[in-house]
Amino acid sequence: MTNKNTRIEKDSMGNLNVPFDALYGANTQRAVLNFPISNLKLSNSLINAITQIKYSAAIVNKDLGLLDQKISSLIQNACKEILNGKHYKEFVVDVFQTGSGTSTNMNVNEVISNIAIKSIDGNIGSREPVHPNDHVNKGQSSNDVIPTAIHIASSMEIKKTLIPSLKKLSSELENKSREFWPIIKTGRTHLQDATPIRLGQEFEGYKGQIELGIERSKVALKELSALALGGTAVGTGVGMHPDFAKKMIQELNSEYDHEFKESPNHFQSQNSLDGLVQASGCLKTIAVSLMKIANDIRWLGSGPRAGIGEIELPEVQPGSSIMPGKVNPVIAESVTMVSAQVIGNDTTIAIAGQSGNFELNVMMPVAAYNILQSIELLSSSALNFSEQCISGLKATENGPNQVKNGLAICTALAPIIGYDNAANIAHIASKTGESIFEVAIKETDLSKDELEIILDPESMTEPKK
């Protein structure tokens, strides 16, 4: 039955009530009813990528003589509305849906069809004169559109948000490395005292991790550059004009100012998510790097009196509801949580990648959700980390004050008096509380001047030439 809140639509399975004002149709409504699983929806970036494919297809099909000029223009104009940020509320299918993403592909097809129909005062849901399958989806299948859209959306988010955010973080770490270069402190290995290191050298190491993260982002881009478009249902290209894929790639590259290419092996592109798995692995490595850096920042700033306290973190908010004056490393903590989420997302994507059954992977929507979430989280977290934490870090005197009392500086004595003798001096200093210098004066024949040169902390921070 129908009422004033619904309209009756027909698809290949029969009649169905659809919300009266909805721009989607019966196929989408069936998915809404079939998958009341979560409140998670695929991102706008993925919807935009699918829409861009439809926009380009309207142009290419028209140029190939397969689509009427008027219908092509109606589809293009409808796509422009979506790409300009309108109608996102119409994309209602749950992430946990059909494994090919067919429901989302049809959701986009139906919305474009009805926007076009509405623009000429036609009857929404009539499929006339713009049909969601015959016109909007012409030359395509969900099985090649969805993996193509995942690659496009992920590539654009990496290129436009992740890499710039990582570059900003790398720049801030480089600034701190230069600022902290004169500061010499005790290094730590196994959480125990080690030979001296410059605070700036520690930050140089962090910068190196992020620089490699940028390179790994570019590796991910390369993995995602091959598009499945052109394989249609099972990789054979059935139902597609022989020039369609080539012209589509050209059109998409023009729109995105990027160098996508048609997959050299459509069977591989549709029956696996290997490229996505590899790209996610790169994102996971970036997350691991960020977690390492964030945890080091937390520890170096611990205290202020009972911890390491070698740096001061910016105070951005009160840290406790019960302890007045307490300030916590909340920005760094948010980075570690993002890292954990991205690492978990990678596991989901790896499992999804295993789910290619014969000619089709059947976990594409959840893989799409996770990789795009990972990119978004890493991008925003890296930028926030650089702006609200790294840029405001200050060094304290704690690091330099502890250097001369460090036991590991006896390492510089080992080449001169032997490992065992140097170790004995370290043991004595540890028991008596004396410095290595004070014990060495008594236990060796080395003069004060000689020891001052040998045990100079600054000389230990650079390789001997």
User: Do the Cβ atoms of 308 and 300 come closer than 8 Å?
Assistant: yes
User: Do the Cβ atoms of 278 and 357 come closer than 8 Å?
Assistant: no
Alpha-carbon radius of gyration of the chain: 30
DSSP 253: H
Identify whether 119 is a catalytic site residue. no
Query: 3-class SS at 11?
Result: strand
Q: Please name which of 378, 377, 191, 173 lies closest in space to residue 293, comparing C-alpha atoms.
A: 173
Please, which contacts does 114-123 make with residues 24 or more away whose CB atoms are closer than 8 Å?
A: 114/23, 114/24, 114/25, 115/23, 115/77, 115/78, 115/81, 115/82, 115/87, 116/71, 116/74, 116/75, 116/77, 116/78, 118/23, 119/74, 119/77, 119/78, 120/74
Active site residue: 12, 165, 170, 320, which one? 320
Residues ≥6 apart with Cβ < 8 Å to 220: 154, 158, 278, 279, 282, 283
CA dist., res. 15 & res. 353, Å (int): 36
Q: What are phi and psi of 305, to 5 degrees?
A: -110, -25
Identify whether 320 is a catalytic site residue. yes
Active site residue: 45, 171, 177, 190, which one? 190
Find the Cα–Cα–Cα–Cα dihedral 34, 101, 59, 247, rounded to 10°. Answer: -160
User: Do the Cβ atoms of 100 and 364 come closer than 8 Å?
Assistant: yes
Catalytic residues: 190, 320
